[in-house]
Structure 1
Amino acid sequence: MATPPGTGSVQLRPKLSELAATISANAKIVEDYLESKGLPYPSFAADGPSNFPIPQTPETEEIHDARQALLTASKHIYDLATGPNEYLRWLVWNYNDVSTLHVIVSFEIPKIVPLEGDISYAEIGEKCKVPELKIRQVLRLAMVNRLFYEPRHGYVAHTAASRLLREDPLMLNWVSYNTDDLAPASLKVVDALKQFPDSGETSDTAFALANNNESLFQFLGARPERAKRFGQAMSAFSTGQGYAVEHLVNGYNWGKLPKDATVVDVGGATGFVCVELAKAHSDFKFIVEDKVKAQLELGESTLDPALKPRFSYLVHDFFTEQPVKGADVYLIRWCMHNWSDKYAATMIKSLVPALKSGSKVIINELALPEPGKSNPWEERRIRTLDMVMMMCLNALEREEGDWKRLFAEADPRFKFESCTQPPGCLMNIVEATFVDE
């Protein structure tokens, strides 16, 4: 397998021929695997697979390494062959891609275009009550991003990506949430940095400046339909490859805990993470905590009756003192990245009065890699997420050193154990043990 230039270290002078060789070698590895397993071939066509067709399992790890090498080299060769002048000139126009998506989902164009066959720009314009020429302007730009295509002059048909916006409500909500709620906030980042450079408050953000000084939580709380869409958008984001709960279940050595260990899921929503842990560890007991009572009630009402003897549910605000004393594990998953260091530290400190010597705090979130150490596609995803957290909540994604510092500042009795990333997972498992001797 060829190694992609730029992986593991920032390389400023890659050669086009070497990048091309890397692309060729790794494309063959991926293509051979697809053909040997009879898997559907990736395609832009409407009947193409919605996800990359090779499942992410331990058995396919080498194939996905080849795929990542292919993606990395492809990005490098595109950027290198473009050149910095032309690259910057068009990079700044990327907001037009978001704008076309906004038009497409707002006017429900994926539903207007039939799954089979095509439809004219004139008919789309008539249904949208928008002039044909303006619809044509929007869609022909979208088409360069593989959203729809023009099978014959003046007519529009679906691609795999546009079909997804028609058939997958989670993806539709993810796109519409970003275009409606986040894109306007992105234009206020400079204002927020100038007005509130040192703030860690959710009210002092670009999002608040774009929404009449309402924080994201206030905004969603006052708009149930937007809140519902937000929840579905987050489901689309967090259930994708690399975020599945199975990585936490299989990627941490739960067997080193007492056989009948008690796990407290802090901010656990419905308790869906603990349900998966319970299936794998038949003697563990679980206490699911959340501030939102409705989430707990939903989890309890849908829980498998066979698991109910090992589950309990408790309304709790994780910024206040932890009421469950002496548990073996306090698990926090996808909560702390919503908050600045000020509040993240409070979250950890609130656990301390409840901890016994040997209690573990396990955090399942991102630990940002060093710059340039990941492939550029993965790094772009996590750096973008980091920016969104600042823009919306004055929060952040953290590096391993940040996690170490938070535990050290919360209480010197914490022993930082590890920060690991299971294979195929985009999240990390951060572990600290409370040692009170």
Structure 2
Amino acid sequence: METGTQSRILELAAEIQHCTQCLHDGLVADGQPLPSWELDTPPAPKLSLEGQAHQDALFEAMHELQALILGPVPYIFNKALESVYGLLGLHFATRFSLASSFPPGTTTTFATLADQAQIPESDVARYLRFAMTDRVFAEPSKGVVAHTPASKALASSSQLRAVLGHLGDEIWPSACRAVDAIQEWPGSEEPTQCGFSLAHDTDKVFFDDIKTDERRARRFAESLELLHQRPGFQIAHVLRGYDWGAIPFIHDQEKGTEEAASGVVVDVGGSTGTLGIALADAFPNLKRVVVQDLAPVTAASTVPDRLQGRLEFETHDFFADQTVKGADAYFLRWVLHDWSDHYAVRILRALVPAMREGSQVVVNEFCMPEPGELPPYQEKRARFHDLGMKQLLNAKERSKEDWKELFKTADERFTFQYISKPHMSELSLVVFEWRGSKGH
């Protein structure tokens, strides 16, 4: 007699079959190569929007089926082991540059790799054989090492190697000390009292600490480049997710002033201007786009000839009072999540002296899901980022209620407008408008 659990595992099996068939048929219809273990397989399948939805549903079903089939105790035990040891093989291969030490399509040996890296052959064998259980490298005959598509990707992409190096050297040790930091400094909002602080024995903020080592700083920058290339983080989502074409905002047509009709956008903490340039190119109604960051960044930034007179870089610390007065929109992308509420409130209050009636603050970050809003597998991806900010900076990703409370604490004249998440974007647009007397 079937129980509810037996019925559920058969439902999941059917869902996996259905989603796999849909993915297969979609790739064939689009003329895309099918996933395989051949070395020339693409780094990632190019999926349509429908295909991406099937992929998400497939992973969700696989995740749940694994939990049900294993049972609670083995499932938790296996997850704990994977969390502790899962990165070891990749960390080892990255640290000693093993993937890039021989060309794809050729083979080498454990002995040769050990000689090149100046480490014991026994360590090479045991760590790479662990990586092989995740299909990173292969051992076609005893002691012989060949590439798989995964190790080929590791050999070919300096950005992927940078991500793994950053994960192994910065994130992983910080995660191991995150709980210790909570016990050491309960309730702290200081960025120097977190897992990273303990793991690296430093009194510097994460960003300042890695700047002391050019190799670490360069690796972090490359890691961000690869992260920003993910489809869910593309600038295109920002361009179509907010009504930039409606700028300038004039809320009182009869009393519209030159200031109110300025057509100005300020990209606060906008780095080298990737977004600012895209905005100025896409929306000619924006008469002035100001990209603000610290001096080392702005000094290395250049205004394209086509945008002279409309785009500018300005050196500015976002903890200091905002210098561009009465702009239509102040945009912050991936800024506030780097800071605990205590410091994020300071950043928002620094905008207040510049605000005018109708000015908007547009934040582009994660909006943490409400409990049960997303399936567990998808929710986990968001929770990864939240815990990452906690262990590195004592910072956080925020939910809708968190955003409302944060802005209210900064100044009650910030009025919530909406939160939207453009289709296929991983980040949301959180919009507040200034209402009431002019900021002072």
TM over 0.5: yes
Indicate the larger mover: 360-369 or 273-282.
Answer: 273-282
Establish whether residue 106 from structure 1 lines up as the match of residue 57 from structure 2: no
Report the Cα offset of residue 48 of structure 1: 1.4
1:246 pairs, out of 236, 245, 258, with: 236
Establish whether residue 45 from structure 1 lines up as the match of residue 38 from structure 2: yes
Q: CA 1:145–1:373 in 2, change beyond 3 Å: closer, same or farther?
A: farther
Map of 1:380-391 to 2, 5 A cutoff? 380-391=380-391
Equivalence for 1:408 = 408
Q: Which amino acid aligns with 2:40?
A: D
Map of 1:21-40 to 2, 5 A cutoff? 21-40=14-33
Q: Distance in 2 between matches of 1:416 and 1:261?
A: 22
Q: Deviations over 1:262-303 (max 9, x none)?
A: 100101111110111112101312011112x22113222xx3
In structure 1, the gaps of 5 or more residues are: 1-10, 55-59
Amino-acid identity (%): 33
Equivalence for 1:276 = 278
Q: Distance in 1 between matches of 2:275 and 2:110?
A: 47
For the 8 Å contact 2:267–2:290, the answer to whether it is kept is yes
Equivalence for 1:360 = 360
Q: CA 1:352–1:13 in 2, change beyond 3 Å: closer, same or farther?
A: farther
1:135 pairs, out of 109, 119, 124, with: 124
Report the Cα offset of residue 12 of structure 1: 9.0
Report the Cα offset of residue 47 of structure 1: 1.7
Indicate the larger mover: 235-244 or 200-209.
Answer: 235-244
For the 8 Å contact 1:270–1:297, the answer to whether it is kept is no
Indicate the larger mover: 279-288 or 354-363.
Answer: 279-288
Q: CA 1:134–1:248 in 2, change beyond 3 Å: closer, same or farther?
A: same
Establish whether residue 169 from structure 1 lines up as the match of residue 158 from structure 2: yes
In structure 2, the gaps of 5 or more residues are: 250-261
Equivalence for 1:290 = 293
Map of 1:47-66 to 2, 5 A cutoff? 47-54=40-47, 60-66=48-54
Q: Distance in 1 between matches of 2:88 and 2:20?
A: 33
For the 8 Å contact 1:148–1:156, the answer to whether it is kept is yes
Equivalence for 1:178 = 167
Query: Alignment partner of 2:426: what SS?
Result: coil
Q: Distance in 2 between matches of 1:84 and 1:323?
A: 56
Q: Distance in 2 between matches of 1:320 and 1:142?
A: 48
For the 8 Å contact 1:110–1:166, the answer to whether it is kept is yes
Establish whether residue 318 from structure 1 lines up as the match of residue 312 from structure 2: no
Q: Distance in 2 between matches of 1:376 and 1:52?
A: 23
Q: Distance in 2 between matches of 1:435 and 1:12?
A: 54
Report the Cα offset of residue 14 of structure 1: 7.1
For the 8 Å contact 1:42–1:53, the answer to whether it is kept is no
For the 8 Å contact 1:71–1:377, the answer to whether it is kept is yes
Q: Distance in 1 between matches of 2:22 and 2:45?
A: 15
Equivalence for 1:84 = 72
Establish whether residue 16 from structure 1 lines up as the match of residue 9 from structure 2: yes
Q: Which amino acid aligns with 1:305?
A: D
Report the Cα offset of residue 201 of structure 1: 0.6
For the 8 Å contact 2:324–2:354, the answer to whether it is kept is yes
Q: Distance in 2 between matches of 1:412 and 1:13?
A: 53
Query: Alignment partner of 1:331: what SS?
Result: strand
Q: Which amino acid aligns with 1:208?
A: S
Q: Deviations over 1:294-346 (max 9, x none)?
A: 2113222xx32001220122111101111110000000000110000001111
Establish whether residue 266 from structure 1 lines up as the match of residue 268 from structure 2: yes
Equivalence for 1:195 = 184
For the 8 Å contact 2:27–2:33, the answer to whether it is kept is yes
Using structure 2 for the length normalisation, give the TM-score: 0.91
Moved over 4 A (4+): 11-14
Establish whether residue 221 from structure 1 lines up as the match of residue 211 from structure 2: yes
Q: Deviations over 1:251-271 (max 9, x none)?
A: 222223228621001011111
Report the Cα offset of residue 389 of structure 1: 0.6
Q: Which amino acid aligns with 2:311?
A: F
Query: Alignment partner of 1:353: what SS?
Result: helix
Report the Cα offset of residue 96 of structure 1: 1.6
2:146 pairs, out of 157, 167, 170, with: 157
Equivalence for 2:199 = 210
Q: Deviations over 1:137-156 (max 9, x none)?
A: 11111011121112233321
Q: Which amino acid aligns with 2:20?
A: A
Q: CA 1:143–1:348 in 2, change beyond 3 Å: closer, same or farther?
A: same
Report the Cα offset of residue 366 of structure 1: 0.4
Equivalence for 1:237 = 227
**Alignment coverage as a number of residue pairs:** 419
For the 8 Å contact 1:41–1:53, the answer to whether it is kept is no
Q: Which amino acid aligns with 1:242?
A: G
Q: Distance in 2 between matches of 1:85 and 1:14?
A: 21
For the 8 Å contact 1:139–1:148, the answer to whether it is kept is yes
Q: Deviations over 1:348-395 (max 9, x none)?
A: 111111001000100000001123432444322221111111111000
Q: Distance in 2 between matches of 1:13 and 1:436?
A: 60
Q: Which amino acid aligns with 1:203?
A: T
Note the aligned Cα RMSD (angstroms): 1.8
For the 8 Å contact 2:60–2:378, the answer to whether it is kept is no
